[in-house]
Amino acid sequence: MRITKEKRGYGGLLACLLAAGSPMAGAGAALAGDVQAGKAAAAVCVACHQADGSGMAVPGGEPWPALAGLDAGYIVKQLDDFRSGARTSVSMQPFAQMLNETQARDVAAYYASLPPTSHAAENTDPALLLHGERLALHGDWDRYVVRCASCHGPDNTGVGSEFPRLAGQLPEYLGKQLEAYREGARANDPQDLMGAIARRMNDHDISAVSAWLGMQAPEARKREGRE
Ligand code: HEC
Ligand code: HEC
């Protein structure tokens, strides 16, 4: 009798732990990759994403996004999506396909461990930046453009594995992704969350918000307890 009771108790505890761990835990501690192994596997990535993970945009070329400091669970999801074809890119898919699941987790842990980078402002047109800031922090309710910060975090530095950091990302890359969402070329976002927003944005909105976000500090600001 006693043993049965204890067993049942233990099973209940385990079920609780699993339930508590599953919903928003992203890649989860049990699935955390090995940073050192990831660094070795990233040897083939640096040609495009750069040794410090800061990415690069060559004029007229395809922008290579910054990966440094992105959430590991978000990176794993994108690599899975490139592998399955849910997200397409002629340049990126062959490299995602080179990685098995363990390597994908390792490489994600490695890039997540690097300090996030930001980029010098290229675009300093104050009116454009003001429009970008307004969209990012307040949105445009007349057109149902929801402010970016409501999902991507108060400083747009990302929330969990679901909502990636935008602050400090290359503006060229941000703009290209927003166009891809708008045209349906990128559709791996859950429930069309990004597609629905991007389709309400015009070209001016996209350049403005991309320019402003790219200039923002990649680390969340510290806030006073009550503010
Ligand atoms: C030939 C250049 C190239 C190489 C090499 C490369 N990538 Fe990429 N990567 C890209 C491009 C271009 C994109 C953006 C694709 C798009 O526009 O959707 C990208 C996107 C990504 C993304 C999505 C980032 C985001 O913010 O959503 C991840 C993650 C990524 N690469 C990881 C890797 C890893 C890991 C490797 C090495 C195993 C690698 N890449 C090698 C070009 C490259
Ligand atoms: C309702 C929630 C929501 C709002 C509001 C939102 N996003 Fe997103 N966004 C997402 C999700 C979810 C993803 C990740 C999709 C995935 O898993 O591939 C994403 C991804 C992105 C990406 C791709 C990032 C990368 O690294 O590839 C860009 C760019 C982006 N959002 C820009 C914006 C901008 C600009 C705004 C404000 C105008 C905005 N988002 C508002 C939910 C949102």
> What phi, psi does 10 have (nearest 5°)?
-65, -45
- The pTM (predicted TM-score) of the whole model is 0.89
175 half-sphere exposure, CB direction, 13 A CA radius: 19
Encode pLDDT of 53-71 as tens digits. 999 998 899 999 999 999 9
CA 155 – CA 137 distance, rounded (Å): 8
- For residue 24, the SS3 value is coil
What confidence category does residue 123 fall into, taking pLDDT thresholds of 50, 70 and 90?
A: low
Maximum separation of any 2 CA atoms in the chain, in Å: 76
DSSP conformation letters of 87-125 = S--TTTHHHHHT--HHHHHHHHHHHHHSPP-----S---
> Mean pLDDT over residues 178-186, rounded?
98
Binding pocket residue ranges, ligand 2, CB within 6 Å:
65, 77, 135-136, 145-146, 148, 150-152, 162-164, 166, 174, 177-178, 188-190, 193-194, 197, 209
Q: Which of 111, 120, 90 is nearest to 211 (CA)?
A: 120
Fold for the domain defined by 29-113? Cytochrome Bc1 Complex; Chain D, domain 2 (1.10.760)
3-state secondary structure of 145: strand
Residue given tokens 């300090």 in the structure block: 115
Q: Specify the domain boundaries for CATH 1.10.760.10 within the chain.
A: 29-113, 126-215
The CATH classification number of 126-215 equals 1.10.760.10
97: CA distance to ligand 2 center in Å?
24
Q: Which two tokens stand for residue 157?
A: 């530095």
Residues 8-47: pLDDT tens digits? 333 333 333 333 333 344 444 456 899 999 999 999 999 9
Cα separation, 179 vs 191, in Å, equals 18
Ligand 1: which residue has its CA nearest to atom 3?
48
